[in-house]
Every structure is written in structure tokens, then in C-alpha cells.
Structure 1
Amino acid sequence: MAHIKLLNEELPGIVGLLNYRPETAKPLLELAETLLRGESTLTSGEREIIAASVSYWNQCHFCHTSHAAAAAAHLQSGLSIIDDIKAGLPQTNVSDKLRALLNIAHQVQRGGKHVTETDIAAAVELGATDQEIHDTVLIAAAFCMYNRYVDGLGTWAPVPNEAYEEMGQRMAHVGYGKA
């Protein structure tokens, strides 16, 4: 049970919180839509992997699993990617550039000042653009906020990966905050 009385206690994770405060839901959903589905040279699947990874490092089960399920939908990889992200993607074919961007995201998750010139140079050497680095840092920072919002209010989350499949499909193919 959440730390506050939600309008619908059956809605998991951020879904219940967005339902509780529609006026704050709108900008939060617009930010997620822009970061994860907006124009970018990074695919939506890659950006969902960044969001899911940061969420895993923050121990936010709901956000990790839902965004990993969205990555699975984008990449048509199956739900096994949910656990593969936890393991550092040993079974998922991702570019060295994405791995370098994930390192930057992890540094942001630890604290923004942990990002070093060496981290940035490694990503640039592997082909990352300034916009991709910018977007990676913003996704990581935003998901630290989303994770703390979800967990700070004690929302509940289904445990099995399969419970997130439909949500992941909807996030990937319909978007955030759309009917």
C-alpha cells in the first residue's frame, strides 16, 4: 500500500501517482515522451535500455521492469532482456557506443559529478554525438527523479516480468500519456 491514499490503489507504480495528480502527470509524461520517443539518433529501444538500467541501479523494480519491457517491445527481443539488463547486457547485442553511454548514465545515477572527461571522451571516440551525450545524461537524471517518486511514495509493483509485457508494448507503440 502506498504511503498516501491514492485514488485507485490497484494502479501500480507511477501509474497510480499520475492518476492521483493529473496536473503533475502531464509534464512528467511529456518529458518521458520527449526523452524516450522524441527525435533522436539513439533509437527508442536504446533510450529505454538507458532508462531501465538507471532504474535497476536505483533498485526501482517498477520502472526497471516496465521500461525494460518497453525496450523489449521496441527491439522485438522478448522479455529476457529484462533480466539481461540487470546482468549488464551480456546476451543482448548492443553497440560499444551504447555501452559507453550506459557508463555515463551510471555515473549520473551515482551523482552528476561522477561523470568525467574520460567517460565523455570514451563515448565520443565510439561515435557518440553531443546530443546523444546530452540526452543520455538527461534520461539518467530524469529517471533518478521518476524512481525516487515511485519508491518514495511506496507504490506497489507486480513482481513477474510477464506482468509488464502489455505495459511495455503500450509504452513502445502508443507512447506516454496517450489513450
Structure 2
Amino acid sequence: MADIPTKIQLIEDADAAGEAATVYDEWRQKSGRQKMPGILKCFGHRPDFLRDVMKFGDTVHFSEGHLNRRQKEAIASWVSYLNRCPY
């Protein structure tokens, strides 16, 4: 991911410091994954807003409803693929 140029300078996992590092660690602990997704790294410059984005994702995108989380993530992955999104 670090090799793909983006319009927004991402804060990579190894470069996160201060509050950004804290929020990245919170996400890792909650998700069980080790690498922060690029789409969330876009908000690393505003850790307060990043927390809001993560909360929004948890309550809207990943809550159970007409579609379950697995179905929603499959749709999101397909749309990202169609859009050639590097995230």
C-alpha cells in the first residue's frame, strides 16, 4: 500500500505517533488485525475524527440488519474492486 501514491498523505502504521498511534492501537485491538486499512489511515491526521469514523462504521456498516456483516463486507469489497480502489 505504501508504494501506491495517494492524494491524501497516509499515516502508516510504523509512522503513527501520539493520539494517532493510540487510535490505531485501539482499532487493532478491537479488530484483531495487525495492519490499519488504508481507508482509515486517511483520517490519521485527525485522530478525533478517526474515532468517529470507526464508531460510524461499527454502528451503521457493520451492525446486523437486512444484510449481515459478511454480506456488507462482500459488497464493499466488490465495489472497491470495481472502482479500482487501492484500499
Output the TM-score relative to the length of structure 2.
Answer: 0.51
Q: Which runs of 5 or more residues in structure 1 are unaligned?
A: 63-179
SS across alignment from 1:48: helix
Which residue of structure 2 aligns with residue 4 of structure 1? 9
Where structure 2 has 5 or more consecutive residues not aligned to the other structure, the ranges are 17-34
1:22 to 14, 38, 47: 47
- The residue aligned with 1:44 is 69
Match among 52, 60, 70 for residue 85 of structure 2: 60
Output the CA distance in 2 between the equivalents of 1:61 and 1:17. Answer: 12
Equivalent-residue separation in structure 1 for 2:70 and 2:84 (angstroms):
21
Task: Indicate the structure (1 or 2) with the bigger Cα radius of gyration.
Answer: 1
More helix by share: 1
User: Who is 1:33 aligned against?
Assistant: 58
1:168 match: none
| TM-score, length basis structure 1 | 0.28
Q: How many residues align?
A: 62
Report the secondary structure of 2:74's partner residue: helix
The percent of aligned pairs where both chains have the same amino acid is 26
**Could you report, residue by residue, the CA deviation over 1:54-91 in whole angstroms, capped at 9, with x for unpaired residues?**
111211132xxxxxxxxxxxxxxxxxxxxxxxxxxxxx
CA RMSD, aligned part only?
Answer: 2.9
3-state SS of paired residue (1:20): coil
The one of the two structures with greater contact order (alpha-carbon pairs below 8 A, sep at least 6) is 1
